Amino acid sequence: MTATHDLGTSPIATTDIFRSVFRRHASGVAVITARGSRPVGFTATSLSSVAAEPPLLSFGVGTGSSSWPVLSEAEYVGVHILGEHQRELAATFARSGADRFGPATRWHSGPEGVPVLDGVLAWLVCRVVARIPAGDHRVLIGEVTTGTAAGAGRPLLYHQGRFNALRD
C-alpha cells in the first residue's frame, strides 16, 4: 500500500509516511510496569486518556516485547509519567535486554503488587479492563484505581526520535 505525499510527485510507503508523521508528533513519555513472576516494564509514548467517568486510559504494547507475556495476563499495571530529569530511566526501559529493575532503578512494590517507580511526576495503578488486538500490538485499556500527581518538575517528551524537554 502506498500514499502520495502532499506534492503528489512520488508514492511513499504507508509505513514510512506513518513513521515520518509521528516523528513530528511530540508525545509525553511514560513507563508502564506490571508484575508476574518478575517485574516488567517498558517506555511508552502511546499513553492516552480515554474517559473521565470511569477514569480510563490506553496504551499500546508490542506482542513481541519482552514485557508482553506478563502484560498479557496482568490484572493490574502501573503507569508512570516521567519528568525531563528522567531521560536515562526512559532509555533504560526502552532498551532491549536492559536490566530495567536493576540497582540503578529506584522503585518499590505498590498497590496490588505493581512496581512503582520513585521520583516520577505522577503514577497510577490501573486494573486492565480490555486488551484489543491492533496489528502487531495490543491496546490495553486500564481503569484507574489509585495514584498520585505529587511529583515536581516538567514532563519528558519524545519528538523526532529523541527524548526532549519543554522549551520556555
pLDDT in tens, 62-111: 999 999 999 999 999 999 999 999 999 999 999 998 899 999 999 999 99
For the domain made up of 27-160, the CATH class stated in words is mainly beta
DSSP, collapsed to helix, strand or coil, labels residue 18 as helix
Q: What integer pLDDT is reported at residue 5 of this predicted model?
A: 46
Give CA–CA dist 163/149, Å, rounded.
Answer: 21
φ/ψ (deg, to 5) at 59: -160, 155
Q: Which of 31-45, 69-83, 126-140, 150-164 has the lowest mean pLDDT?
A: 150-164
Measure the CA–CA gap between 113 and 21, rounded to whole angstroms.
38
12-40 burial, b at 16+ Cβ within 10 Å, e below that, comes to eeeeeeeeeeeeeeeebbbbbbbbeeebb
Q: Does the pLDDT at position 125 exceed 90?
A: yes
Mean pLDDT of 134-138: 95
**Distance of alpha carbon 89 from alpha carbon 114, whole angstroms:** 18
Bridge partners, 27 (sequence order): 158
Question: What is the three-class DSSP state of 154?
Answer: coil
